[in-house]
Chain A
Amino acid sequence: DIQMTQSPSSLSASVGDRVTITCRASQGIRSDLGWFQHKPGKAPKRLIYAASTLQSGVPSRFSGSGSGTEFTLTIGSLQPEDFATYYCLQHNSYPFTFGGGTKVEIK
């Protein structure tokens, strides 16, 4: 199985900060990766697909980059509604696997 190592597991940031989250795959997965935002009691929401393509309706402050084994999600200017847990998901090979998550909290 492909392991997705996500870092950091949590971070504290202020409104307006630039935030970067990283996922590393245990083997190359091309660009077969998505990024998700999950808030308690809500449905997980995909933000980015194919590693760098913004999902329709998602604010442009979210961006993704990377291919192969290293991927990054960047929030350009953190907004109050962005405090949540973020996950990467590889869909290059079965079983698909999520990263462990990054909880973004208010500083």
Chain B
Amino acid sequence: EVQLVESGGALVQPGGSLRLSCSASGFIFSSYWMSWVRQAPGKGLEWVANTNQDGSVKYYVDSVKGRFTISRENAKNSLYLQINSLRAEDTAVYYCAIGGHIDYCGQGTPVTVSS
């Protein structure tokens, strides 16, 4: 059974940093592009970033470029999102997803940016 389990979400002060993790199982992790998507409170879904099978290619939405870094560790079947210089507008539930085109999502981890 395919499973994606996100973790690492927390309450963080503006300007702070956080590392989100996504543990994958039930499929050959190293064979798939992987993505992050988020949903801010009361807002719609927003595509955030994706990366190719070996992590050598990465794409980001403009609003997070220079602050977010997507990475992966295939030996651990894990995807990460390093979030720096957090802003209030980064408050959202962050979902990990299989595929470059969001084939399947995990349950999400909440990030709250507030002082």
Contact = CB atoms under 8 A, between A and B. Distances in A.
Contacts of A87: 44-45
Contact of B107 (A1, A36, A42, A98): A42
Contacts of A91: 100-102
A34 B102 CA distance: 9
Contacts of B105: 43-45
Interface in A44-94: 44-46, 49, 85, 87, 89, 91, 94
Chain B: interface size category: 20 to 34
B95 A97 contact: no
A49 B59 CA distance: 21
A34 B62 contact: no
B102 A36 contact: yes
A34 B106 contact: no
Interface of A: 1, 34, 36, 38, 42-46, 49, 85, 87, 89, 91, 94-101
